[in-house]
A and B are shown apart, each in its own frame.
Chain A
Amino acid sequence: MLKLVCPYCGIEADETELVSGGEAHLKREGPDSTDDDFEGYLFLRENPKGVILERWRHAMGCGKWFHVARCTVTQEVFGTYPAQTFKPPPRIMEEIKSRRTGQENGLNSDKAEKFS
């Protein structure tokens, strides 16, 4: 059972009180974008074996969206943070780094660069 601390309520919510919203920090492509970029925005998602940044909603609670850094293999949670941000806060990146030294298990190199 996955348990996440809602950064707004400060309470540990169980998976069944939450709704998953998929990959976090997507860049929204508008009418001026290329077909390729728009396709990527709509359909192409990361599916890493390892660290992932995701959106979750505290549906059976405050109703707000928030972000989570967790590992898809071990289910360990590195932390949660509010949704009003374009990238994970330094404390989250440090937490990931301190527990994942090899690139293989950390954020993929594109993402790591984008968020550093």
Chain B
Amino acid sequence: MAKSTVGSTPKLNLLDDIGMILFRGDLKSKTLQNAIVEATGVKVPVRGKISTEDKTSIAWMSPDELLLILPLERVGELIEDLNHKMGKEDTLIWDISDLRSVFEIEGNFIREVLAKNTPIDLNRDKMRKGTFRRTRFGQIAVAFWFESETKWFMICRRSEAEYAQQLFEVSSKPGEIPSVF
């Protein structure tokens, strides 16, 4: 018997104190792995995953790209530290905090709302804790991950954040969420 979703609308909040660093390089390199762990305290995630320690997360974006997500005030210092630790190795370390937006989604039935707008398999055994899934949300490129069933995160281009917000709101109207997962 499906649970009633009435009165359980999940909410989307833009996090404005979040910093993001794009990190491109040879992810298999020992120098890179050591530099990241020493500078952030977080291990380099394996393919398709995100690893988190305290307030810092590192997401696997592609075979040569990571995304570091951390409190905004620590970005400048960390970039300097990483550049120093990488030495002469070929890397691109770039502050993209203004380029993308991170949303926090809180509440029940988050999988249901996302499933209306994305083609990925959101079943609990496929979309698990630690999974970092790049896909689309409506017509825009996004990535999803979650901390718990009732606390998810979505990242998108800042220029498309308004679209993401409106699409989420329209898809999570009270009484219009089916109970599926």
Contact = CB atoms under 8 A, between A and B. Distances in A.
B141 A62 contact: no
B63 A11 contact: no
B150 interface: no
Contacts of A13: 135
A9 B136 contact: no
Given A17-B119, A61-B134, A9 B141 contact: no
A64 interface: yes
A9 B47 contact: yes
A72 interface: no
Interface residues of A, number: 14
Contacts of B62: 8-9, 61-64
A62 B136 contact: no
B48 interface: yes
B136 A10 contact: no
Contacts, number: 35
Contact of B141 (A14, A59, A64): A59
A60 interface: yes
Contacts of B111: none
B63 to A, nearest CB: 5
A10 B141 contact: no
Given A9-B47, A9-B48, A10-B47, A62 B61 contact: yes
Interface string B60-82: 01110100000000000000000
A11 B118 CA distance: 15
A62 B66 CA distance: 11
A62 B47 CA distance: 11
A60 B47 contact: no
Interface in A40-90: 59-64
Nearest to B133: A11
Interface string B118-148: 0110000000000001111000010000000
Contacts of A10: 47-48
Given A9-B48, A59-B141, A60-B135, A14 B119 contact: yes
A11 B48 CA distance: 8
A14 B120 CA distance: 8
Given A9-B48, A60-B135, A61-B135, 15 more contacts: A8-B62, A8-B63, A9-B47, A9-B134, A10-B48, A17-B119, A60-B134, A61-B62, A61-B134, A62-B61, A62-B62, A62-B134, A63-B62, A64-B62, A64-B63
Contacts of B63: 8, 62, 64
Given A8-B63, A59-B141, A63-B62, A17 B48 contact: no
B48 to A, nearest CB: 6
